[in-house]
């Protein structure tokens, strides 16, 4: 493997790690917002459902990005 190919792989790995970190931060922040809103009896239930749906979508993205970081055993 050439230095150029290794450099490209390292950059891609760094991008995946950074994206995964950002998704986890957003998921955690959204979890905090949902928890606070859930304590409010006057909360807009439609808004709360949208936030929960967004949180689930983030969880799926996190799992997808995490699975990309697992080395392919067939390679």
**51 or 3: which leads in pLDDT:** 51
Question: Is residue 3 pLDDT above 80, yes or no?
Answer: no
- Quick one: which of 22, 13, 12 has its CA closest to 58? 22
- Is a pLDDT exceeding 80 seen at residue 5? no
In this prediction the pTM is 0.79
The sign one gets for the Cα dihedral 19, 23, 24, 26 is: positive
């Amino acid at each position: 493997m050439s230095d150029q190919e290794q450099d490209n792989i390292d950059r891609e790995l760094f991008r995946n790690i950074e994206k995964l970190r950002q998704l986890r931060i957003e998921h955690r922040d959204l979890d905090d917002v949902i928890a606070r809103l859930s304590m409010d009896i006057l909360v807009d239930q439609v808004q709360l459902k949208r936030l929960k749906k967004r949180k689930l979508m983030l969880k799926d993205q996190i799992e997808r990005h995490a699975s990309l970081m697992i080395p392919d055993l067939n390679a």
